[in-house]
Structure 1
């Protein structure tokens, strides 16, 4: 006969507090209550229920730096590949005037030369 493994079941704690229902004995009524029960054996890649890792600030800084770096690479790639068939008018505000190589070279040719 084969030995059977014990069945692993989630153990839930009783979080209902009957003393919260009677406001006469308490001066302050607790509205939110306790956290809901959850199975302790469940693993989640996002951290599971009520996740608050101790190094959340460092994790946030690393991810912010990664997002900023990737956005910078894509911005640089986009600015290098930008091509205009019609150049912006001379006096108008045009944001890509500051980073587009083609527009900067065009404006250098229009600038009066000191000779």
Structure 2
């Protein structure tokens, strides 16, 4: 008995599955990077983090970087 399906049957493993997987992973990484970049650009804070507290978005948020540079400049002027 032979069963045919458009999806390739129960135990299909195309010859180029590794290439297909690599391409799809590249697409996933690209979409994730674009979404992260868009999110980082649109991030807006009403309250800034404390200076000595760990805050991951401190490394990519333009608003926080500018705020901390301003605080550092004000501190050195005093």
Same fold (TM over 0.5): yes
Residue equivalent to 1:39 = 3
Deviation at 1:76, TM superposition (A): 0.2
Match of 2:58 among 82, 94, 97: 97
Q: How many residues get paired?
A: 76
Residue equivalent to 1:30 = none
- List, as ranges, runs of 4+ consecutive aligned residues in structure 1 with deviation greater than 2 Å: 112-115
Pair member with larger Rg: 1
Deviation at 1:48, TM superposition (A): 2.7
Match of 1:72 among 33, 39, 59: 33
Query: Is there any run of 5+ residues in structure 1 with no aligned partner, and where?
Result: 1-11, 13-37
Tell me, yes or no, if structure 1 residue 55 matches structure 2 residue 19: no
Q: TM-score, normalised by structure 1?
A: 0.61
Rounded Cα–Cα distance in structure 2 between residues aligned with 1:43 and 1:103: 53
Q: TM-score, normalised by structure 2?
A: 0.88
Higher RCO, Cα 8 Å, sep 6+: 2
Q: Any idea what the Cα deviations from partners look like across 1:15-42, whole Å, max 9, x if unmatched?
A: xxxxxxxxxxxxxxxxxxxxxxx513x2
Query: Is there any run of 5+ residues in structure 2 with no aligned partner, and where?
Result: none
Rounded Cα–Cα distance in structure 2 between residues aligned with 1:100 and 1:112: 18
Give the superposed CA RMSD: 1.7
Contact 2:59 2:65 in 1 (8 A): yes
